[in-house]
Structure 1
């Protein structure tokens, strides 16, 4: 018997098999399916084509209205109405709309809907976020979502894996975003194509859950099927605080097969920025040069959690957003928004000249709440900087951590906290 990776063990268990190997086709039972206001209407339409069968389990489907919510136009309003009526007909337990919603990949772990050892699919490419909890989670198309909602199952080709060994302690301003940008810069946007990015090493002990969510969130930006962290004390503490569900720890076998092994010394990393028009196009802040900017976005499913809000507030406190720069802060969930308010962070943001939005994906996909005009540049804590991603095709997105984004808002150019003496 060949040794298995964490991902392979989870998939084997959910397929009812004693072992699986890379490349094997399996059918696995699902613990949770996710859809949003963009992808769910397509899945519902597919279900209607086959006679609108009932969902397999009303508690194991999560529908999160987050991309264009609160609705930005008639089309987005119609899509949400379609989802809302479907959720009502099927008595979907976990339906999240205005007032109780958040950005899906921050909301589901916060609500305790995902736990270690789960298999989760979502009709959104950043569903890979939940690997931070020791789950197998991956994005799928809306047709796969439709089939999963009816059957509670999905087909997978078992992925091969790469091992990423994290060692050392990150310096003061180095976050999960800097780490994953460094990794993507090293691997390339297809460097882990249909592979599992499996993390290990003593450096993990220095990473918070928010760091790990960010790192797994962007696994897809290296082409990976999923990213996954081992379940340690930090994970267990988070799971016990957020979920009443039982969980299961899986560990990779010592003789597990990896396509490649990479070792990264976290103590040597510097604040990192991904230049247009690919996440692999990375430079450290001190290599960036004097590039003026027009907008900053702090938020998204990648970096809209409490630690992100605190880091941005620490940089913006007693400082002002540069004249001519628009700074938009988007807490990822209502709970994050409320906690940021209790800690006085919203006052810091507004006092600095930023605006604070209700939770929404908003500008990340070029939806609303921060669309870029011709030739404009934005430093953003989101996850993609493709051509036209946030607006006009000649606009530019520079991906960075909330700390770097906040520092750039103050100086009006791409900068790190160190440029402010922090």
Structure 2
């Protein structure tokens, strides 16, 4: 709804291509020597929260394709300090992961977290990902050249082998994050230390229902954002959300009994393994690992011939979480039957088909992390994600 959205798509989409070329040239060595004719606009598209332009540099030692990603809230009227905090730490987190692991991730060429620049909007510039979006190799094409969703459950032997190759490659790729462990749950915050990040809070826009109830004057302020605080222990991480989302109701009405019963079930869950892996009273210090917030087909690129993963993109809202919610979790496309809107009648893959693929992915993750590594959480990770969504909400699931 345009009236309650913080986005200003009209202004962002109206930015001239010339300005995109200028800001790209600014971040390239000897870019000042490039002329307008040395750039080629390839395509532009919108995600849920960003406008992206793909630009090709045609000449010179840095010839190639680049991505300029601009937030939909990136205008003087909408952009706030919390947005800037999230953008610069997203860019620095990508560079940190690229430096400290072997995971395939786009190289960040430059960024600006302000609207006062040549583009007139905040941005992140990256080298374009190699390969094709993975849905292009997962599905056959129909007669119109579109993904054949109807027959996705009946792959040829060749396609099935490519899917297996892709899943095993993806598991190996994500397992590269196993070397990075952190002291708390939250966002990697590089504001005080560019080398050794702290763990800071992270922010996201309030839900449409919450925005609808707000004063329109507050939509472009910090009041329109929810804060997710930091935690040192995973049990605190879940208990805090339970107490906030489902507080105990002292009323004696039938509905209060139902609500308290639901809370009791959830309390029982988070009081059990793996949610209570480390207790505060122990001498062991719990560590946390990275979580990609949208590991789905469109953000995983691969070789169109072999199915091997070539790049993982869209690290927006990447953050540290308890191990059982982290990098070893199943990708979203293998957990669709755990989401509330899933319907067997309309599903691309049936649950027993997804079980086969989940097993392939989990076995590959265990091979990559070892039997006592985080791969032991993979097969049940959709359950853990469901608990997390019930407490914190999810952009993928609606109401749990």
For the superposition of Structure 1 and Structure 2, which TM-score range results when normalised by the shorter chain? under 0.3
TM-score normalised to the size of structure 1? 0.25
Bigger Rg over Cα: 2
TM-score normalised to the size of structure 2? 0.26
